Homo-oligomer: A and B are copies of this chain.
Amino acid sequence: MQTFQTEETRPFRELCADHGLTVTHQRQVLYEVMQTMPGHPSPEEVYARVKRRIPAISLATVYKNIHLFVERGVLKEVSMHHGSLRVELNSHLHHHMVCSHCKAITDLDEKDLGELPALQSLPGGFQAERYAIDVIGICAACQKAKRS
């Protein structure tokens, strides 16, 4: 029987090893900070938080590592509808609701969507790995705002 650990609880050194990344202080803090930011932060937002713990860190380093993390599958890139890159920890299966009015992004558990079609035999021999579903609509707050 195999021990099961999520990426959140597994020690950071091990996670880096798994993804072929060198362990550095900056990366560790970056990762820890992202664990405390459950939303879909922009690089600037992550930078602001990390800076509280490593005041000398550079925005360029944050960008470089976010990209590295995305490439290696530690982070996932999220949705469009923003002028800037948004990321989230690559954890459990979920999708997003995007308000077409205020652009807010909310998580949507995959099971709230009901049964999804199987990913097979797509045109052009495309080999599918996963869905990224955005449900576009109006969030509750904007519905209220429009009524008034």
- Whether B140 lies near A124 (C-beta < 8 A) is yes
| A108 and B132 alpha carbons, distance in the complex (Å) | 14
* A65 nearest CB across to chain B (Å): 18
Question: Which of chain A's residues 13-71 have a Cβ closer than 8 Å to chain B?
Answer: none
- Whether B114 lies near A126 (C-beta < 8 A) is no
Q: Is A113 an interface residue (CB 8 A)?
A: yes
* A133 nearest CB across to chain B (Å): 5
Which residues of the partner chain B approach A108 to less than 8 Å between Cβ atoms?
122-123
- Whether B140 lies near A129 (C-beta < 8 A) is no
**Contact string, A94-123, partner B, CB cutoff 8 A, digits 1/0?**
000111100000101100111111110011
- Whether A112 lies near B123 (C-beta < 8 A) is yes
- Whether A124 lies near B106 (C-beta < 8 A) is yes
Which residues of the partner chain B approach A124 to less than 8 Å between Cβ atoms?
97, 106, 139-140
Return the chain B residue nearest A70 by Cβ: B100
Which of these, B114, B132, B143, contacts A133 with CB under 8 Å?
B132
Residues of A within 8 A of B (CB): 77-81, 97-100, 106, 108-109, 112-119, 122-140, 143
